[in-house]
Amino acid sequence: MDASFTPEQDEIRRTLRELLHSRCGPRELRAAVDTPAGHDPALWTALAEQLGLPGLALPEAYGGVGCSATELALACEETGRALAPTPLLATAVLAAPLITALGTDTQRAELLPRLASGALTATLAVPGTALAAALALTGTGDGDWAGGGRAGGVQARRAGGGWRLYGQVDQVLDGHSAGLLVVAAHAGGFARSRTLLFLVPGDAAGVVRVRQTALDATRPQGRVQLRDVEAELLGQEDTDVLGALARAGDLAAAVLACEAVGAADRVLERTVEYVRQREQFGRAIGSFQAVKHRLADVYVGVEAARSAAYYAAWAQSGTTPPASRLALAQALEGLRIASGEAVQLHGGIGFTWEHEAHLYFKRAAGDELLFGPVHRLRAYAADAARLFTGEEVTV
């Protein structure tokens, strides 16, 4: 394994950091999250047209750049540093891999070029409380999370030669603004029937969407109501939907881990800058040993999380068993500790709405609610590896 980055990977990181520094500062970030969409369309256009970010990991045959998951994860590390509110996660990490894996040739040819260009945004419509289970991050992903019928969620029924959906999905990432919804629904008319994925245009007749208030405003969420909506089945009925969701979960966990590392690194950087300037008793508070020890512990945690996240991203492109869940757990924990220390060490100003420290803390808490929590990520990874059963696992 060569742990060094290629010149192309370094260039992606450098260019993206420069663009976000000029287009997504604290003032621009707050203005973007206050818009109805929750992100700046002009920034999204710049990321798509100048850097090709939505299509970074999509095949060149469909208008993508043709890079690996590693480049996508490194790009998301930079968006995480800036807490950039964009549809990148929902479009390129959650929806596009499912369309690539399950879609028919016609569906891929029609949708992937538009996703790669940024002209079309998409999201995976799964209840936010069940997203980690659906992606097999904290459970086996057996499909019970999709609901259906009296259990809630979305129910699919045949209608003529097609399908129609009825139900409601809450806490969908960019669900209020995405141009395309990849909806998970139960087909068969009872709560434990099979789970299928369907394609629904965001402006289809019968779709009612509203933005919800989220703990982390930089990850806008929406409620999606489907009132007898005509839908197109993604792929074929006999496709392995749950397996594709689990594979998408591996990718999402690796990308999210790098994103969390970027946010943790940035909030640590800002905290170190502050304690070097803030004086108490005639000296900078960063010179006190207790403060040094606390920040040293944070630094060790962030660097350990960075190593795990990079390995998880690299493993997506090879035959090495993915370690995405453990990397995500370590990165989320590192971000939570780093942002918590930032709030504490900034003193009174760290608790104010005007300062950015709380945005990083909310990103840590919000990601754990959506994709964790940390102890469940680790517990499921341990169970999958049969770590405490005494059995030898061959991989």
Find the CATH number of the domain harbouring 322.
1.20.140.10
Q: Looking at residues 83-103, what average pLDDT do you find? A: 97
Alpha helix segments (H runs only) across the chain: 7-23, 26-33, 41-51, 69-82, 88, 96-102, 105-117, 131-134, 241-277, 289-315, 324-345, 357-371, 374-384
Summarised one tens digit per residue, pLDDT across range 252-302 is 999 999 999 999 999 999 999 999 999 888 899 999 999 999 999 999 999
251 within 8 A of 119, measured Cβ to Cβ: no
Domain encompassing residue 19: 7-121
Residue 249 is assigned to a structural domain of this protein: yes
SS3 201: strand
One domain for residues 19 and 96 = yes
One domain for residues 152 and 279 = no
Residue 342 is assigned to a structural domain of this protein: yes
Residues 6+ apart with CB under 8 A from 131: 124, 171, 370, 371
One domain for residues 139 and 155 = yes
> Is pLDDT at 395 greater than 60 in this prediction?
no
pTM metric for this prediction:
0.93
Rounded distance between C-alpha atoms, residue 285 and residue 148, angstroms:
56
Which residue, 97, 150, 73, is CA-closest to 314? 73
pLDDT band at 375 (very low <50, low <70, confident <90, very high): very high
Which residue, 134, 177, 139, 132, is CA-closest to 154? 134
Rounded distance between C-alpha atoms, residue 351 and residue 198, angstroms:
43
> Which residue reads 């989320």 in tokens?
332
Looking at residue 29, what is its pLDDT?
95
> Is pLDDT at 391 greater than 80 in this prediction?
no
DSSP H/E element including 233: strand 221-233
Residue 2 is assigned to a structural domain of this protein: no
Q: Looking at residues 14-37, what average pLDDT do you find? A: 94
Task: List the CATH number of the domain containing 229.
Answer: 2.40.110.10
pLDDT band at 357 (very low <50, low <70, confident <90, very high): very high
One domain for residues 288 and 378 = yes
One domain for residues 23 and 117 = yes
Residue 87 is assigned to a structural domain of this protein: yes
One domain for residues 255 and 380 = yes
Compute the Cα dihedral for 323, 258, 59, 202 and give only its sign: positive
Residue 395 is assigned to a structural domain of this protein: no
One domain for residues 286 and 172 = no
CA 277 to chain CA centroid, Å, is 34
One domain for residues 380 and 251 = yes
One domain for residues 63 and 18 = yes
Residue 316 is assigned to a structural domain of this protein: yes
Task: List the CATH number of the domain containing 33.
Answer: 1.10.540.10
Rounded distance between C-alpha atoms, residue 123 and residue 91, angstroms:
5
Write down which residue in 97, 121, 145 finishes a domain.
121
Residue 224 is assigned to a structural domain of this protein: yes
> Is pLDDT at 320 greater than 80 in this prediction?
no
DSSP H/E element including 156: strand 154-159
One domain for residues 231 and 308 = no
Rounded distance between C-alpha atoms, residue 107 and residue 115, angstroms:
12
Residue 307 is assigned to a structural domain of this protein: yes
Q: How many domains does the chain have?
A: 3
> Is pLDDT at 82 greater than 60 in this prediction?
yes
Mean pLDDT of the chain: 91
> Is pLDDT at 147 greater than 90 in this prediction?
no
Rounded distance between C-alpha atoms, residue 226 and residue 30, angstroms:
31
Looking at residue 394, what is its pLDDT?
54
Write down which residue in 121, 145, 166 finishes a domain.
121
Q: Read off φ and ψ for residue 166, nearest 5 degrees.
A: -145, 130
Write down which residue in 121, 137, 167 finishes a domain.
121
One domain for residues 107 and 203 = no
One domain for residues 202 and 261 = no
